[in-house]
Amino acid sequence: MHLTFACSECQNTSSTDFDADTQHVVCGHCQRSIEVPRGAVDGQRIKACMVCPSRELFVRKDFPQQLGVSIVVLGIVLSCVAWYYHAVVTTFAILFSSVLIDVALYLFMGELVECYRCHAQYRGTADVAEHGAFDLETHEKYRQRRLRGQS
Ligand SMILES: [Zn+2]
Ligand SMILES: [Zn+2]
């Protein structure tokens, strides 16, 4: 299983492998060691965030949004070129396939578990569905807390 997190000490993003026996996660930049809360990892399942240690996590597609957007933008640019040369069928074929590629990518991408509070990301864990999908209300709760400077 794999963890990606933002270090609260040096603000850098670190990633590390972990398993049920992992007791500390160490920032690769400043070597800060974070103690993993007991029971955060249960076998192959992630029960609580190893970093912050919130128990509120959500599941989302492991889809690089920028890549998705670039494919669509590229499709639009290419179809404009085709349109300019009066190739109507090609124009729509390009538009259609760029959307299709996006959908296919989305479907084949795996899922990751993310922490609402510190946005640590967990890949390769089992039973991710038990965390539920992204909930705006919970997200807002943590955002407000952050704005007020509470942890
Ligand atoms: Zn650090
Ligand atoms: Zn967290």
Distance CA 36, CA 26 (A): 10
Q: How far is the CA of 119 from the centre of ligand 2 (A)?
A: 6
**Same-domain pairing of 32 and 97:** no
pLDDT, tens digit (0-9, with 9 covering 90-100), for 79-113? 999 999 999 999 999 999 999 999 998 888 889 99
- Residues 50 and 116 grouped into a single domain: yes
Which domain covers residue 34, as residue numbers? 2-62+110-147
- The string over 99-108, giving b where at least 16 C-beta atoms fall within 10 Å of a residue's C-beta and e elsewhere, is eeebeeeeee
Cα-to-centroid distance, 69 and ligand 1 (Å): 31
- For residues 54 and 115, state if they share a domain: yes
Residues around ligand 2, an ion, CB closer than 5 A: 49, 51-52, 54, 115, 117-118, 120
- The structure's pTM equals 0.80
* Centre of ligand 1 from the C-alpha of residue 26, in Å: 8
> Is there a single domain that holds both residue 53 and residue 91?
no
